[in-house]
Amino acid sequence: MPEQLLTSLTPIPFEARIPAAEAESRVPNAPAQLGFDELFGKALLPMWIFDTETLKFLAVNEAAIERYGWAREEFLEMTVDQVHPSSSLPAFLEYRRRVEFGTVAGLSTECDWQHLTKKGAVVAVETAWQTINFNGRSAIHITIIDRTEQRQAEEESRELTHVLDLATDAIIVCNLEREVLFWNQGAAKLYGWSAEEAAGKKVHELFKVEMETVLKCMSGLLEKGDWSAEMHHVRKDGSKAVVNTRWTLARDEVTKQPKAVLLISTDISEAKKFESQFLRAQRLESLGTLASGIAHDLNNILSPILMASGILRQSLGSDDQKMLQIIESSAERGAGIVKQVLTFARGAQGERVLLQPKHLISEMAKVMVQTFPKNIDIQTNFAVEPWLLVGDATQLHQVLLNLCVNARDAMGPKGGILRVACENIEVDEHLARMNPGSQLGPHVCFSVTDTGEGMTPEVMEKIFDPFFTTKEEGKGTGLGLATVIGIVKGHKGFITLQSQVGVGTTFKIFLPANREAKTEVKKSEDAALLRGNGELVLVVDDEAPIREAIVATLEANNYHCYTAEDGTDALALYFERRAAISVVVTDLHMGMMDGISLVRSLRKLDPNVKVIVSSGHIQKENLTILNSLGVKTFLEKPYTAEKLLRSVKAMLAPSDEPVKVG
């Protein structure tokens, strides 16, 4: 019962009532004393008196008549239970009993009653009860405060609070001292503080925002009435959240003076991560475009080296042959690196071929030795000769590289041991049940082990989630291991993880293997079989060193050559000498007229023209166009003299095979 209700009631025993005869003999309007009847009748609050046993109304005042709608005569014919809804009647009767028998001492109050008016409206009330004698009868005097509007306002407030709690945004109300007055469920979810914990605390202390920023915010708020910004807030657990926060100044409706501040903060952390990834993807796309141009130029540089070494091999002695082998190996390795960078940067999926796992690890070890800190001891181990597997070499390189880089970072500046191993594993039913989606049968198991700081069980549960990272902001995207598991599943394999804090971590990659497959050893064809019979070849390339290397290779093997610097010259030359020209070898990317336009024009002149197209980089759409134009052979720069001769020889013996990339 509110304090003001208790203090407003002054119990007047019925015995103090002034007899009517005595009251009439007094001077009218005498201020000395007022009788009970006058106090009761003129009270502003509704009052009534009812018989304790029969519950019959014995008296009602004017305020009760006005509020409830029954006339005095109607009231006096009613019992008090008629103004109570049936649902609250048992509680009312029980409370009446307690008041009657004195278990509720003195002035008794009850706040949660409902009454009915004559029209059936429900009135929420607070009541004060007092036992009295009324004309020799045991009665109860009740004073009533109508709380209907207050209860409705409270219900509306609860409904509003419920609606605000449904909002996903953090909605906060604070006073001008920035102390929290209201804190919805959205704020609790975003920041981790419950409404009870946040109440009364200063918002900038909860968010861990610098005072300079707060003063700037309040200055703009008082000047313009609102302020918004993108900010970095700190949650209860210490993690950071990027929020778009909007502060609005609330003013008093009458005085228009500032009285509170409304804060609405939207968590944009995930959106910022996606934005960062989008920008990263754009940079990667730009890198891919740049890599295409670089690949074209580098491959044009490497092509003459490879072809020239093939020519020189025929004329040099055995000692020089070793040096030529080094030149060829280096050029081929450079071409492979260019191809791998290009494929990775453009996100292209390489060809699934038969791979030797040992070679993958050996190549990765070479990269790590050259790039990792010297205090990391890199070890490789092959228990037995690994089985072969079918996979995308570029993607599997990416898997191993991601795991090794993570291992390097886990060991930190102190260094440690990084061990990359490979073994043959037969996946049985027990292991398959432990790893849903895995296949039974032979697998190659790659393992990457480090002696780093290890991971807690909580981190291990989230380690493969996209965007989850334990690295500092700006040093990790959280996509490395998500990419790893995607590639592994794409190869129908599975991955396991073992880690212990302070000891280290081991990742194991299981990929289906073929225990029967053997690595094919390519044998060089007999040089005599690749020699020509005096056929005429038209060589088209805008790079003079490449033209000269091709011509030298072909002429050294009993072919004759015409050359052209671009497509227009080649088309004119072919128009004049088409009867004599047996094969056209053309570059794809040239000025004036590119390779595709040249092939299309040559087909119009001669539908049976035989064309070999070469390039340092060719896109799938161009390959599709070339196929539609009947081009069946494609030489990827840089290529060796042997590949060139084999392609020309094959072109002179036509087949119906699809486009080949040499």
Q: What is the pLDDT of residues 17-58, one digit of tens each?
A: 333 433 333 333 333 345 677 778 888 899 999 998 899 999
Count of beta carbons in the 10 Å neighbourhood of residue 311: 17
| Phi, psi dihedrals of residue 642, rounded to the nearest 5° | -65, -40
Which residue spans of the chain are classified as CATH 3.40.50.2300?
Answer: 527-661
Buried residues in 566-603 as b, exposed as e (16+ CB within 10 A)? bbbbbbebbeeeeeebbbbbbbbbbeebbbbebbbbbe
Is beta strand 170-174 parallel, antiparallel or unpaired with respect to 137-146? unpaired
Mean pLDDT of 173-183: 87
Q: How far apart are CA 199 and CA 182, in angstroms?
A: 7
Strand order of the β-sheet with 108-116 is 57-60, 47-51, 137-146, 122-134, 108-116
Give the side-chain half-sphere CA count within 13 A for 366.
8
Q: How far apart are CA 143 and CA 384, in angstroms?
A: 97
Q: How confident is the model at residue 512 (pLDDT cuts 50, 70, 90)?
A: very high
Q: 199 near 211, Cβ under 8 Å?
A: no
Q: In sequence order, what are the residues at sequence separation of 6 or more whose Cβ sits closer than 8 angstroms to the Cβ of residue 86?
A: none
Q: How far apart are CA 340 and CA 348, in angstroms?
A: 10
Domain 167-267: assigned CATH number = 3.30.450.20
Q: 449 near 455, Cβ under 8 Å?
A: no
Greater confidence (287 vs 257) lies with 257
Buried residues in 352-387 as b, exposed as e (16+ CB within 10 A)? eeebbbeebbebbbeebeeebeeebebeeeeeeebb
What are the C-alpha distances in Å from 590 to residues 341, 349, 375, 594?
23, 26, 49, 5
Average pLDDT of the chain is 79
Which residue spans of the chain are classified as CATH 3.30.450.20?
Answer: 3-151, 167-267
The CATH classification of domain 3-151, taken from the options 2.40.30.30, 1.10.443.10, 3.30.450.20, 2.130.10.10: 3.30.450.20
For a pLDDT cut of 90, what percent of the chain falls above it? Answer: 17
**C-alpha closest to that of 420 among 401, 439, 440, 392:** 401
Q: How far apart are CA 562 and CA 169, in angstroms?
A: 73
pLDDT of the residue at 269 = 81
Would the pTM count as exceeding 0.85?
no
Which residue spans of the chain are classified as CATH 3.30.565.10?
Answer: 351-512
Domain 527-661: assigned CATH number = 3.40.50.2300
Mean pLDDT of 617-634: 82
Tell the CATH topology of 351-512.
Heat Shock Protein 90 (3.30.565)
Residue with tokens 């073992």: 498
Residue type, position 593, single letter: M
**C-alpha closest to that of 447 among 504, 394, 531:** 504
